[in-house]
């Protein structure tokens, strides 16, 4: 069965770094935001971003990929439940970097 891996973790925890090392397609809502409007976050565009991400996942599976990573925080059950489907199984990759380290990385390294 096809597999959608959802990363789970705080911003700057290392989710994208882990995802890039896996060698499979990645869908990243932050990249979609930058491509659409050049900003990291605009609240009113949220539903559109997630709709596009969902279509990207579906298109990658239809193109023949068996494993895809959704690189996002996915910290709420509601956000994770959005990705449930009879067409694939969802698995989770927790990136448990402590909050104070994520804050440090955000402030001083980016």
Q: Considering the chain, what is the average pLDDT of its residues?
A: 95
With 0.95 as the threshold, say if the pTM is over it: no
Structure confidence by residue, pLDDT tens digits, 20-36? 999 999 999 999 999 99
Taking the C-alpha atoms of residue 2 and residue 93, their distance in angstroms, rounded to an integer, is 16
Q: How are strands ordered across the β-sheet holding 67-70? A: 26-27, 67-70, 3-8, 89-94
DSSP 44: G
Task: Say whether pLDDT at 39 is over 80.
Answer: no
- Which regions of 24-77 does DSSP assign to beta strands (E)? 26-27, 67-70
Residue 23 is predicted with a pLDDT of 97
Place of tokens 């996002």: 72
Kindly list the domain boundaries of the chain, sorted by start residue.
3-109
Task: Say whether pLDDT at 82 is over 70.
Answer: yes
CATH topology of domain 3-109: Rossmann fold (3.40.50)
Q: Are 66 and 79 in contact (CB under 8 A)?
A: no
Residue 110 is predicted with a pLDDT of 66
């Amino acid at each position: 069965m096809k597999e959608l891996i959802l990363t789970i973790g705080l911003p700057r925890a290392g989710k994208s770094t882990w995802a890039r090392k896996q060698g499979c397609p990645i869908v990243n809502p932050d990249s979609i935001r930058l491509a659409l409007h050049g900003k990291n976050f605009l609240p009113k565009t949220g539903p559109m971003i997630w709709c596009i991400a969902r279509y990207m996942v579906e298109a990658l599976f239809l193109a023949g990929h068996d494993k895809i990573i959704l690189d996002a925080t996915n910290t709420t059950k509601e956000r994770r439940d959005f990705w449930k489907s009879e067409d694939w199984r969802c698995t989770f990759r927790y990136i448990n970097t402590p909050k104070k380290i994520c804050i440090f990385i955000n402030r001083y390294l980016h």
